[in-house]
Amino acid sequence: MKVAVYHSNDDIRIEDRPRPVAGAGELVFRVRASGVCGSDVMEWYRMPKAPIVLGHEVAGEVVEAGPETAGFRQGDRIVATHHVPCGTCRYCATGREPACETLRTTHFDPGGLAEYVRLPAINVRLGAFPIPESVSFDEASFVEPLACVVRGQRVAGGVSGKTVAILGSGMSGMLHLLWARACGAARIVCTDVHPYRLEAARRAGADAVLDARTERVPPGSADVAIVCTAAPEAISQAAEAVDRGGTILMFALVPPGTRVDLPAHDLWSRGVSIVPSYAGPPRDMRTALDAIAAREVDVESLITHRLPLSDAARAFRLVAQAGESMKVLVLP
């Protein structure tokens, strides 16, 4: 099979590898759509593990079910998550699945930017879902990233009836915008430094769009401030924008060593909570899939590029440049 091997954002190599074989309780599926995530182009995060086959926003069709595999068979259309929590440890039992050791060690073989993927038994059991007939493979590839957004807003206390500020209107910011709207947010303000993304947020239904180069979210105007960029200035602005009793959701991955000057006394006196979120546990995967199937969120409108696996290098360039693109799909 063909795979796209990541060495750096500027060095993606198409290689031949043996097609994986399903073991007991496992599946092999043909990848039909694989999204390039913003985290895939964070070189500080990815290059220490290179060379590696990336890709975790996937949907496909089962081509082989191993012995003792229950619930799926050849020909089934599925979506799966690469990181699954065990569901039984003390972290999972208290809603802190991202801290689960199992979640941190589970993965695809080799990765979604390949023609075929082997899904380990634990992923089959805990993190694979059939795709409804009404949902396309392209739409289903959004289930994992949307699940991360669902969890993020959930642990931030929800957004229904609240004013939400989304700092950073890239792919994650747009999914937060769509989900906040679906969940009944009263008002949504989006910021960014790129005109293309500001216009995308405007088209997607933001109540206000602010150019972060010249404008700031009014102090104390947001009940929930969602940080979807690693820019320290955005984190500082979130602390200023959030109202008394509000919540700052730290959603974007931040490079190690990043330091941000925050007004500790002010945050304490105003009762502001700072909540991080990572990954989308199975229950949030289910919520995301159901929302896409019910057309509660229009994920298809976010797709700007569909490229073959042979053009994976261009897919990475588009996402890394963060210019006039939103969701870039690779169709192996």
Q: Is 249 exposed, middle or buried (0-12, 13-18, 19+ CB in 10 A)?
A: buried
* pLDDT band for position 12 (cuts 50, 70, 90): very high
Could you tell me if 16 and 138 lie in one domain? yes
Per-residue HEC secondary structure of 42-75 comes to: CHHHHHHHCCECCCCEEEEEEEEECCCCCCCCCC
What pLDDT does 103 receive? 96
* Residue type at position 134: S
**Domain end among 258, 276, 294:** 276
- Total domain count for the chain? 2
Q: Are residues 234 and 126 in the same domain?
A: no
CATH number at residue 98: 3.90.180.10
pLDDT in tens, 178-226: 999 999 999 999 999 999 999 999 999 999 999 999 999 999 999 999 9
Residue 254 domain flag: yes
- The answer to whether position 284 is within a domain reads yes
Asked if residue 60 belongs to a domain, the reply is yes
Does residue 111 sit in the same domain as residue 163? no
The answer to whether 317 and 175 have CB atoms below 8 angstroms apart is no
Output the pLDDT for position 92. Answer: 97
CATH classification at residue 192: 3.40.50.720
Q: Does residue 129 share a domain with residue 12?
A: yes
- Side-chain half-sphere CA neighbours of 116 within 13 A: 16
The residues with which 222 forms a beta bridge, in sequence order, are 242
**Domain span including residue 51:** 2-147+279-331
At 137 the pLDDT is: 98
User: Residue 253 and residue 226: Cα distance in Å, rounded?
Assistant: 13
Specify the amino acid at residue 151: R
- pLDDT at site 252: 97
Q: What is the pLDDT of residues 109-159, one digit of tens each?
A: 999 999 999 999 999 999 999 999 999 999 999 999 999 999 999 999 999
pLDDT (mean) for 16-44: 97
- Token pair for residue 110? 């080799």
Residue type, 46: R
Residue 152 lies in a domain: no
Are residues 171 and 70 part of one domain?
no
